[in-house]
Amino acid sequence: MKNTRTVLCLSLGASLLMTGCTMAPKYKQPAAPVPAAWHTGLPEPEPKVTAGAPAAQELKWKEFFTDKNLQQVIDLALKNNRDLRIAALNVERVQAQYRIQRAQLYPRLDAVGGGQIVRVPEKSFGNSGSFTFREYQFEGSTSWELDLFGRIRSLKKQAQENYFATEQARSATQISLVAAVTNSYLNLAADREKLRLAQATLDSQQASYNLVLRKRDTGIASDLDLSEARSQVEAAQVDITRYSGQITLDENALNLLVGAPVPANLLPEKLGSDSAMKEISAGLRSDVLLRRPDILQAEHQLKAAYANIGVARAAFFPQLSLTANGGLMSSSLSDLFNSASGAWSFAPQIVTPVFDAGVRKANLKIAKVDRDAALAEYEKAIQTGFREVSDSLSQRGRLTTQQNDQQALVNTLEETYNLADARYKAGIDSYLGVLVTQRSLYAAQQILVNVRLARLGNLVTLYKVLGGGA
């Protein structure tokens, strides 16, 4: 009965070896644990994300970001950023590990040559006199584990999926880097625009202060009007100092992301419009999410966990190894390559598990738990991606409305300020009306810059979460 089981095992193993099968469970892509449609919170699709536009994954980042200076800055980052460099090196490392594991499927061949001269002293081993013993040899040896039950192929599959996962991790790192550099670039542009706005406000406030000073000297304006005008000048100077310091921080942050100092001629002078970015389509939920690099990474890790189950299952079956040596051996170097000097050995070995106190069962249990954990990570990655896209789509519509409303408010406050300033210069109203409208206009202009920045940042985020940027 025991011999029969052994024959059956060997027969099954030979069949597996011939067909290239493993004992890993068959992988089936899990269903996406998210709704069938995006959550935008809008009655209609947002016009910037149109169905006729290309998907984000179909657009290279140079096709999406059309600003030439920004393109050059991103190029510098892709060449110099250390995080991306580390991700690329990780790909090379895991690729080498995969090659090592794949090589285990094939026999290993070694060649060894050598010799020795040994002097045996007198009265040793029953000899009456000393003598010298010479031996020369040259041999080749090979060893090969027959992968009867797919253990090595499962290890190879696991290494291969880890390699693919690392490649996707590098792609995800690149997408994140492109988005981070763009957002940093936009933050710098917004702060430079706020600085120009503060400088223009300071010039206007200084002119108003000089006017109020002349009126006070002639007795038309009061000291209170002069004090209020001076406070506005000082407030604008505070903002100039603040934004100047923030611009320095923005430049430092951008240089860190790029990994090298960014040339001054590539830095933005003002915040652009969303026309500098191409239209993209949100697409179908499954098409978009399942092609995102981070989700593909999680799926490859799940496949690697499936392969690891095959490794754990194969441990319950015998391992057959073949070792062979063949070469030449002679006591004389001149006779080493004679036909009579040939020597060889062949030593097959089979190792059959008998008792290990439940270690193999525990390893199989761990492999299955790891598979379930990888499945949970995969589903979580899909759910996270779904939320990111839904949030970005929802914010996109609201930010468009908010920017339009804020622009209308700025236009109205400009008219109000011009009217209040004209009435003050004509002596109809006090300076208080000018002061209130000027403060309101300046605050509204700053908010408008922030809203425009948020809208551009939302476009960048939407492009990123939809899987673009490779």
Three-class SS state of 362: helix
Structural tokens at position 215:
């009126």
What is residue 20's predicted lDDT score, i.e. its pLDDT?
56
- pLDDT tens string 379-394: 999 999 999 988 888 8
Is the per-residue pLDDT at 17 higher than 60? no
**Which range is least confidently modeled, 27-36, 80-89, 122-131?**
122-131
Q: Read off the pLDDT band of 109 (50, 70, 90).
A: confident
In the chain, CATH 2.20.200.10 sits at: 107-146+319-352
In the chain, CATH 1.20.1600.10 sits at: 9-105+149-316+358-465
C-alpha 27, offset from chain centre: 25
What is residue 416's predicted lDDT score, i.e. its pLDDT?
92
Q: What is the mean pLDDT of the chain?
A: 83
What is residue 210's predicted lDDT score, i.e. its pLDDT?
82
**Which range is least confidently modeled, 332-336, 385-389, 404-408?**
332-336
**Which CATH architecture fits 107-146+319-352?**
Single Sheet (2.20)
CA–CA gap between residue 252 and residue 260 (Å, rounded):
10
What is the 8-class DSSP label of residue 337?
T
| pTM: predicted TM-score of the whole model, two decimal places | 0.81
CA–CA gap between residue 184 and residue 187 (Å, rounded):
5
- pLDDT tens string 58-85: 788 888 898 999 999 999 999 999 988 8
Please give the residue that has the higher pLDDT: either 118 or 269: 269
- Of the candidate CATH numbers 1.10.10.10, 3.90.1580.10, 3.90.79.10, 1.20.1600.10, the domain formed by 9-105+149-316+358-465 belongs to 1.20.1600.10
Angle between helices 151-217 and 68-80 in degrees, nearest 10: 130
What is the 8-class DSSP label of residue 65?
B
Is the per-residue pLDDT at 265 higher than 80? yes
**Which range is least confidently modeled, 65-79, 86-100, 356-370?**
86-100
What is residue 273's predicted lDDT score, i.e. its pLDDT?
74
- pLDDT tens string 202-260: 888 888 778 778 777 777 777 777 787 788 888 888 989 999 999 999 999 999 999 99
Average pLDDT over residues 448-460: 93
Give buried/exposed letters for 338-365 (b at 16+ CB in 10 A, else e). eeebeeeeeeeeeeeeeeeeeeeeebbe
What is the 8-class DSSP label of residue 37?
S
What is residue 5's predicted lDDT score, i.e. its pLDDT?
47
Task: Report the residue count for the chain.
Answer: 470
Strand partners of residue 201: none
What is residue 351's predicted lDDT score, i.e. its pLDDT?
83
